[in-house]
Amino acid sequence: MLKSKSKVAIIGSGFVGSSIAFAMALKQTVNEIVLIDVNKEKAMGEAMDISHGLPFMGQMSIYSGDYSDVKDCDVIVVTAGANRKPGETRLDLAKKNVSIAKSITTEVMKYYNHGVILVVSNPVDIITYMIQKWSGLPNGKVMGSGTVLDSIRFRYLLSEKLNVDVKNIHGYIIGEHGDSQLPLWSATHVAGKDINEYCISPNSPFTEADKPIIAEEVKKAGATIIKNKGATYYAIAVTVDSIIETLLKNQNTIRTVGSVINGPYGIHDVAISLPSIVNSEGVQEVLELNLTDEERVALMASVAQVKSVLDEVKDM
């Protein structure tokens, strides 16, 4: 159950940070939210705007503050960072946002006394790894939103294709939150029925040929949304709200959050997303599923992709 007194800090009051705050206000996920941003007026304006809707939502405290307010927070959400500009490479963005994240971590750790740091800023795998390193916190106390959003996009697209309630579809996207991510078809089920069995059912609208199409749609979803409206923030907001609820309620929920991996699947010293048990302490356990040989090869390729970027920024 929800703690009698719970507090969340959101660092960054842009589209994503403010949308997360609004989602939490709508769902009454937490008792207290503090918005922190270098643009103090922006944080104040967002806090005021959401607060004025509280009489129709419920009772909670939403205000703008500074880094000293991360003290006693159960969750510290990091959303601050630059957006990728035309002509910029992923490495260019990584270097820019790693520098921002280092400054944030330095300030946070001056006042940190407990709680989980939840990274949403992109490239999320790189930032998660670096904040884990800089903070000196136990492994699992820093996690990334990882491929949680990619996984629910995967389930949503399958539900649309199959015309089945998404609550009856289970599956995961793992690896990098990016181009090298992969779907775990071997762990995808419809009402407990293996997706491969579902494919061969005479009345199934889903065939083996649909798999790469669905996987590509998931991978390109964010870029498509950005092309059409300029940014993505609603779905990630409800995704982060769900992760925060898991943390605050100590739910032991399985989510494909990102964390620094050392051991599972023979992977070491890199942050990627794998199905993990999440509770109030952060990542409690990374689950090792029985991957196919093809999935294992694809996962290791994804690990190599993330490491190639990490190698360029590790010493920053």
Choice among 52, 114, 170, 177 that is catalytic: 177
Q: What is the DSSP string of 110-125?
A: HH--S-EEEE-SSSHH
How far apart CA 161 and CA 153 sit, in angstroms, is: 12
Spatial neighbors of 163 by CB under 8 A, at least 6 apart, are: 205
Q: What is the DSSP string of 140-174?
A: TSEEE-TTHHHHHHHHHHHHHHHT--GGGEE--EE
Check if the beta carbon of residue 127 is closer than 8 Å to that of residue 81.
yes
Half-sphere exposure of 233 (CA within 13 A, CB side): 18
Q: Name the strands in the sheet holding 276-279, side by side, starting at the edge strand that comes first in the sequence.
A: 253-255, 276-279, 282-286
Check if the beta carbon of residue 57 is closer than 8 Å to that of residue 26.
yes
Does residue 170 have an active-site annotation? no
Bridge partners of 268, per DSSP, are: 262
How far apart CA 154 and CA 150 sit, in angstroms, is: 6
How far apart CA 290 and CA 307 sit, in angstroms, is: 23
Spatial neighbors of 8 by CB under 8 A, at least 6 apart, are: 24, 29, 30, 32, 33, 34, 73, 74, 75, 76, 77, 244
Catalytic residues: 177
